[in-house]
Structure 1
Amino acid sequence: MHAVSSIYNGPLEEKRIIQMVSKLRMELPGEPTIGFAFIWSGYLDFASDSLAELSDLLTIYGHLQQLVVVSSSGVVGQGIENEGTASFSLLLIHNPELKCHGLEIPLHVIDSLDQQENWHSLIPFDVNDIKGFCVFADPINFPIEKFLKYLTQAYPHIPAWGGVTSGKENECSLYYNRRPLTGGLLLTFAGNITLDVIVSQACRPIGDPYTITHVDQNILYTLGRKTAYQALAKAFDSLTEQEKLTVQGHLFIGLAVSEYLEEFKQGDFLIRNILGADPSTGAIVIGAFPRVGQTVQYQLRDPQAAILSLQKALEEEKLKFNAQGKIPSAALQAICTGRGKNLFGTSSHIDAQSIQKFFPGIAQAGFFAHGEVGPSCGMNFLHGYSTSIAFLI
């Protein structure tokens, strides 16, 4: 497999776009099999048909068999994170032995996907030939957590990468093969390809893990023998004095992805927002619907922990690839909008540059997401405040 990528800055100009995609295409040993374009959603303020025109230009002058276009509040490319600026990134892949199948997922079929046999009419590949998925979802209507649950049930241990788009509200944020999509897009990879996905979180556990003993919908009442608020207060007390001064806006809750771990650590939780708290009742309202018996632990969003977690994950990936004698050709990256400048301040590009540090020169493209798709404990989930990276080999 061969892959090339580039990043475009400034107003969308047809001549420059044609030059860019034509140059990239010529760097490949053959015609591109598939392309990924991640475009700043602000272009739509200047021309509502920006995504459609870009899809046309890239497909025609890139000689693309398949093209995915995602709009978002920020784009990633070659060690660069462009947040809120006029830019798009493009990644082209040449792999004659790669089989790709893109599928728009309408809302009305999702409930039927809890039955495994219903997947076979949607995906034309044998389950033993499927190597991975890309999942992109509209932030308004698409029930991505339910969809990922059914996908994992039907295709266990097959990794998925992607995220919830962060484009303009009420604007189409997904194009596939020059066609606008609503809902979600599932891209299935089969054939001679490896999709290796890692997820790195920005939050670290604080306080103690607890078992939920009373919950109603998304309202937590008791954790073990404590009220949810008492457990939160105890977690707050465990922080240093400096951390207490800066904790506002950085406290979250984590839902354990597995109950079979002897010890919980950073990365073992699905991070969700704390929406409200009532000291009088001890209740905490969260952005999830947990169940009695599930393990939870409060979390602190921590930039230093985020950096160390990502570096550790990338170092382990590099060691694994070296041991296998493999060299990844491309990296697709989804970064939470709560990272980047919102987490690291003026020290931007940290997530994107980390990939280039461990894999210099690798073709790289991606986007800022409102939720990142990736595996944990062999199952695919929607993560928060994370970066999800898919290495393609």
Structure 2
Amino acid sequence: MSREMTFAASVQTVHEAGPCVDALLAQTTPRIGPDDGDLITLFLTAHYEDELSDIVARLRQSYPRAVLIGCTAESIIGNALEIEGRPAMSMLVASLPGVEVHPFHVSHPQHARARASQNWEPLLGVCGESEPVILGMADPYRFDVLTFVEDINEALPGAPVLGGIASAADGSGQNALILDDAIHREGLVGVALTGNLRVDAVVSQGCRPIGRPFIVTKSQDRFIRELGGKVAWERLQEVIAELRPDEEQAAQQALFVGRAINEYKPDFKRGDFLIHTLLGVERNTGALAIAGMPRIGSTVQFHIRDAESADEDLRHMLAPFRGPQAPSVAGALLFSCNGRGSRMWPGVPHHDAGVLREHLGDVPTAGFFCAGEFGPVGGRNFVHGFTASIALFRPRGVESVPVT
């Protein structure tokens, strides 16, 4: 009997590790049997750190054919729930017929050797021609995540990278990265997926544009000196002068610069800009410093971020997947910034997971709150902040949805 792509998810808050794993498996095994699991993603809080080896062994025994990947995190996401500040585990089990799952771990020395040789296939197990999708979780303390993601852009053009930075630690060696039987304390663990699989990447950076786009006509290092032939600070003041009072208040608290990934497009919309933090103003020149390297000739637009804009942006990005005409999604992974959740929406529990459920229905979902999120914008992968990065899984034969 042929298998179909199937996902099963469970989230549990039992304090004891053994019973918590039992509860996870009690919900997933009736849907996906032990011999049908191909990939398990597991996210758990550091409360279970002492029993982590036993947890891994139990899951490997329960799904002997499956690749296991995961990490520890500050807070956990599962189905329509976001569990913050207390013990929790979330697991997504996938049966993926016709899909090859290539697991890998990248340490700092391995990354350096691959960069030097420009030979990535032995490390990742795939080449660009196989059209892979990369899922990854990283520790930031002894691994250059930013450079690795940029290297993937060059080594595997067009391959989406989705995932996030483990958030359970405040120092080196404290995060746990799980790959099959191994528990790593540094680097990046990942899987490259190829074959009968389509993944729609939804990246909500939580901002909305204000004003109009400008061409960078003068820049230096991190400074935008002129926009459209005029001092950058003066252009910003022009934009702020046209804002509504509520928008002006948001701009005073959280103002950003969006850089168009493809400045040759005739017009721009959400999803076309990579968001950079506006760091400050050089008072004597009026130059704007951003967390990026602005290039002369590039197109930028100012953005604001607040709870309202973050909610609006997520709903906008998920809109193509809602309604009777939207293709069916089999499973989802949600990587949300640890600056979202109750920190962004106090008094509104389960925001991102709830919006995802509202748009997709009862789709099996797992995820965690990250210290940085991976996802593509304009066809290139970046490490984001304050972002919800979502992987939506379906068989390759199901029609894709353009995400704008």
TM-score range, shorter chain: 0.7 to 0.9
Report whether the alignment pairs 1:120 with 2:121: yes
Distance 1:291 1:307 in 2: 30
Match in the other structure for 1:358: 359
C-alpha contact 2:125 2:192 (8 A) present in aligned 1? no
Query: Deviation digits for residues 221-247 of structure 1, max 9, x if unmatched?
Result: 333333333333333323222333344
Kept after mapping to 1: 8 A contact 2:136/2:188: yes
**Residues 164-313 of structure 1: matches in 2 within 5 Å?**
164-170=165-171, 171-181=174-184, 182-313=186-317
Cα 1:92/1:211, change in 2 over 3 Å: same
* Aligned residue identity for 1:341: S
Quote how far apart the aligned CAs of 1:334 are: 0.9
Q: Residue 40 in 1 paired to residue 49 in 2?
A: no
8 A Cα contact 2:321 2:359, kept in partner? no
- Is the contact made by 1:72 and 1:369 (CA closer than 8 Å) also made in structure 2? yes
Amino acid at match of 1:38: F
- Note the C-alpha offset of 1:301: 0.4
- CA distance 1:370–1:255, change in 2 (3 Å): farther
Aligned to 2:399: none
Shift of 1:23: 4.1
Equivalent residue pairs, number: 386
Q: 2:215, 2:228 within 8 Å by CA — same for their partners in 1? A: yes
Q: Are the aligned partners of 1:33 and 1:66 in contact in 2 as well (CA < 8 Å)?
A: yes
The residue number in structure 2 matching 1:55 is 56
Structure 2 Cα separation of the partners of residues 51 and 14 of structure 1: 10
Change (3 A) 1:198 1:115: farther
Superposition CA RMSD, Å: 2.7
Partners of 2:250 and 2:305 within 8 A in 1: no
How is 1:348-387 mapped onto 2 (pairs within 5 angstroms)?
Answer: 348-387=349-388
Partner of 1:316: 320
SS in 1 for 2:123: coil
Q: In the TM superposition, what is the alpha-carbon distance from 1:168 to its structure 2 partner?
A: 0.9
SS at match of 1:280: coil
CA–CA separation in structure 2 for the residues paired with 1:99 and 1:177: 15
**In the alignment, residue 230 of structure 1 is paired with which amino acid?**
E
Assess if the C-alpha contact under 8 Å between 2:24 and 2:91 holds in 1: no
Structure 2 unmatched ranges of 5 or more? 395-404
Q: What is the Cα deviation at residue 35 of structure 1?
A: 0.7
- Partner-residue secondary structure (3-state), 1:4: strand
Q: Which runs of 5+ in 1 are unaligned?
A: none
Distance 1:241 1:390 in 2: 36
C-alpha contact 1:204 1:302 (8 A) present in aligned 2: no
Q: Are residue 105 (structure 1) and residue 106 (structure 2) matched?
A: yes
- Match 1:15 to one of 14, 19, 22: 19
CA gap of 1:72–1:219, structure 2 versus 1, over 3 A, is farther
Shift of residue 117 of structure 1?
5.6
Cα deviation for residue 340 of structure 1 reads 1.9
Instruction: Pick closer, same or farther for the CA change 1:206–1:27 going to 2, 3 Å.
Output: same
The superposition leaves residues 21-51 of structure 1 with CA deviations (integer Å, 9 ceiling, x where unpaired) of 244223214432111111124x2xxx65354
Superposed CA deviations along residues 142-197 of structure 1, whole A, max 9, x for unmatched, are: 33333223212222223221122222122124221132331222310022222221
Indicate how the Cα distance of structure 1 residues 258 and 141 shifts in structure 2: closer, same or farther if over 3 A, else same: farther
Cα distance between partner residues in 1 of 2:128 and 2:73 = 32
Pair 1:229–1:164, CA change in 2 (3 A): farther
Q: CA deviation at 1:62?
A: 4.3
CA distance in 1, matches of 2:282, 2:16: 49
Shift of 1:349: 1.6
Q: Distance in 2 between matches of 1:203 and 1:21?
A: 38
Conserved 8 A contact 2:41-2:69: yes
Q: Distance in 1 between matches of 2:285 and 2:380?
A: 35
1:87-143 CA distance string (max 9 Å, x none):
121111122432111211222344565689612222334544344111222233433
Identity %: 28
The CA distance in 2 between the partners of 1:75 and 1:84, in whole Å, is 9
Distance 1:178 1:274, change over 3 A: farther
Residue 391 of structure 1 aligns with which residue? 392
Q: Which moved more, 1:104-113 or 1:363-372?
A: 104-113
